[in-house]
Amino acid sequence: MAVKICGLTRAEQAVAIAQMGVSALGFICVPSSPRYIPPPAIAAITQQLPETVLTVAVVANPTLEALDSLIHRSNIKAVQLHGHESPAFCQQVQQHYPHVQIIKALRVKSKDTLESIPHYIPYVTRLLLDAYHPQQLGGTGTPFDWRLLQHLSIACPWWLAGGITPENCRQAIAQTHPHGIDLSSGVEVSPGIKDLGRVAALLKALGVDANPTPHS
C-alpha cells in the first residue's frame, strides 16, 4: 500500500517522514494555498530525501511553460495535476516530460465525475480520487462518498484522498481497495505543519514499522 503525505513545508519534517517509510511526499505549488512552498525551497528539501521517495509537485491548471520552470527548479519526480486539466493537456505533459510521472487528480462530486476516468488513463501514471469542494482544490479534511467506488474498475494504479486519517484509513482501504492513500490535513497540527505522531499512528495502522524522530 503506497502512502503519500502531502502539503509538506518544513525540510526537517519531510526528512523525518521520509525516514518513516512513506512512499511519496507532496509539495503544494499553488500560491493561493496555505501550504504553498516555492520551487527553490522544494529543491532544498528534495536533495535531502532518499531516492526511493517519490517527490510530487501539486499544481492546478498550469501552462506548459510554468510546468517546465517548476520541474527544473524544484527537482521533483512527479507532477500532480489537481485542477481542471483535460486528457489532451495530460497527453501534452506526457510528451514534453517523459521522465516525469503524471498524477491526475479528479475531485469526485458525483458518479458523473468517474465517467471521465477512461479518457485520462492513456496519459497518466496514476489517478488520484479526491473529495470535491467548491472553494478548495484539496486538503479539505472531508471524505467523499466512498460507496461510489465500490463497483468501480480502474485500469491503472490509483490513490484515494480526501478526509483520510489514522483512525479511518483501514476502513477507507477496505471499502475502496486503492493502490495507495494520500493524506494532508489528517496528519497536521495546522496547514503545512505535520504531526509526526499522527504519521506514525497512520503507518502503524497500516502495519508499517515507523519510528518518529524528535523533530516537531
CATH of the domain at 127: 3.20.20.70
What pTM did the predictor assign? 0.92
Catalytic residue, from 6, 29, 90, 169: name it.
6
In a domain? residue 103: yes
Q: Please list the alpha-helical segments (H only) found in 21-86.
A: 39-46, 64-74
Cβ distance 51 to 73 under 8 Å? no
pLDDT at 132: 63
Q: Is 145 a catalytic residue?
A: no
Catalytic residue, from 29, 90, 130, 182: name it.
130
| Count of C-beta atoms within a 10 Å radius of residue 202 | 25
In a domain? residue 188: yes
pLDDT tens figures, 15-69: 999 999 999 999 999 999 999 999 999 999 999 999 999 999 999 999 999 999 9
Q: Please list the alpha-helical segments (H only) found in 31-189.
A: 39-46, 64-74, 87-96, 111-114, 117-120, 169-176
In a domain? residue 212: no
Q: Is 209 a catalytic residue?
A: no
In a domain? residue 183: yes
pLDDT at 140: 58
In a domain? residue 154: yes
Please list the ranges in the chain whose pLDDT falls under 50: 134, 212-216
Total tally of structural domains belonging to the chain: 1
pLDDT at 111: 83
In a domain? residue 215: no
Determine the structural domain holding residue 85 and report its residue range.
Answer: 2-205
| Count of C-beta atoms within a 10 Å radius of residue 4 | 23
pLDDT at 137: 56
In a domain? residue 134: yes
Reading the block at residue 62, the C-alpha cell is: 498550469
Calpha distance 58→202 (Å, rounded)? 22
In a domain? residue 144: yes
Calpha distance 44→57 (Å, rounded)? 14
